[in-house]
Structure 1
Amino acid sequence: MDAMADVLGSYRTGSAFLGTVVLRCPWGIGVDPQRDSALHVVLAGHCWLRLAGRDEPVRLSPGDVVLVASGIGHALSDPPDASIVPIRAALSAAPYQQAVSAPDTTTLLCAKYQLDEAAPHPMVSLMPPLIHLTAQQVEANEPLRLALQLLRVEAEGRRSGADLIASRLLDSALVLLLRAWMDTQPAGAADWFGALSDPSIARILRLIHEQPQDAWTVAALADRALLSRATFARRFTQLVGEPPLAYVTRWRMSLAAKALRETGHSIDEIARAVGYESGPAFSKAFSRVFGQSPGRYRNGGS
């Protein structure tokens, strides 16, 4: 299995929002800081993106795609100094629905992607505030280009099963987007993502993800990485951002949290599935990571 897809899948919560909007100049839509990451694709026309705390706007052209990390307020507009209204108001306002062929309109595909940040994964916490790929970069990456085309078709069609399909397509599009972004980064500059470029560490991440229930030790993981224990521990910590066994625990807890959210399995069943011999031992570890018991987490913190 793919480590990046594993992480996104285990930490995503709720259904994905996906839609298109046609906006006529002058227009401006704002997105308040929230838990959701935001994906925007310029389907036609152009606009300006401004992140909270940054003075200079970024010009977006047809075919450009941006991913704004959760917690980052931002605005899209044309012209760059246009008045801003909340995005929900813009999406529901009839005056914004104009003919696509008009020369002064911009068509956007907008999506949100909600991640569980109660105990954020290093990959989630190290994502940059903004990932921007130009139309040329998207066009050069056929899998990403096709995924974005499918998102557009689904957003415009809204046929039966659209919510489920949109969620799955968005999962794929985000993995492909992050991979394409990684390809643009200098060696060693992508933080946690750089671990996926190290064959030994990537192999161990895949092993931990596939077999979380195994009684892993640093020595056992080092053997599978074909590295000495000291070299493995140092390289893993440097690339991943935490020691090997801390990562094992974090991954087990992320899988447990997903099971608590999405299944009716008992706490003892979930404990065994993620490598704990007893419910109390699992509950203690879960509470240490998430700050609340498994039962309380399952009930939404109440």
Structure 2
Amino acid sequence: MTSYTVDRNVPWPVPIWDADTVRMIAQDLGSGAYAVVADTAEEQTPLGIPQATSGGFIVGADAVLVIESMMTEALARQVLDLVAAATDKPIRFVGVTSDHGDHFFGDYVMPEQARIIQHENAFRAIEQTGIEPRKQAQIGWFDLGKGIEDVRYRPADLLVPADGRLTVNLGGGKFVDVLDLGQGQTPGDLWYHDPQAGVIYAGNAFICEKPAIPWLLDGVAARPARTLRKIFDWLPADTKIVPGHGRVTDKEGMRFFVEYTEQLVERVGKAVTDGLSLDETKKAVPMTEFDVGYPLYQWLHFEVNIPCAYQEAAAA
């Protein structure tokens, strides 16, 4: 039997959000598209308080696509209940946006007939590390006894290759595009776009609106900056965006996130060109105009994002 532990040396009290107390709600975005967010998201997202995973579902004439199966069985079952309250159509597809456990751990709870969609890179990363280290990592942030220990791995059925796309037919002219638009956070990011409803589901490539900033945990910064700018410029102004963690927003709500990433790359790159050390760069690049109320800013900016951008620029 696997023994799990909790590392309390994290920059936010564990759990970062409590899976036992999260209540998910569905928001009708029109034309068969729904967001699924924590009931605290509307009030707390602008305050920078970390929110549970956001996702949703899209209903066609014949079938339903669920986006994000969540972290635990209890949260996954909340999603299933919200779908059942909205439609009697069967869930035929479950799409996940990355290889982070709070987005895909609930796959095993989804209906047996549903086909799981995932990026090929995310699938390979999970297969390479195995599920147990990923469960342990999530427990480090979300604590013991929240249902993570009970997660069972269910491999994806449909894989989207790098730079690829998949179109899902839900019936009645409802098509959803599953897109690799480039690395926003991980090399296995997928975006789910319902052009009919004007809705896109972003995952952690866009965590949420201001005051949040990106979590550049995968050691690259320049590529996410290019990806986010490309997506921002491509999206129509009236697109409704369901982020990885937080309330539904629009294109303008994404601007702060994009501009922070671009400025980080530019300013850290200049510091490297000027010959500054990493410690000197941290002092030279505080980016205080982006420190506007996100409780994790000091840790994330100085201990994660600057080192990431610095090492990448120094190696270029």
What's the TM-score once normalised by structure 2's chain length?
0.29
Relative to total residues, which structure has the larger helix share, 1 or 2? 1
Q: TM-score, normalised by structure 1?
A: 0.30
Q: Larger radius of gyration, structure 1 or 2?
A: 1
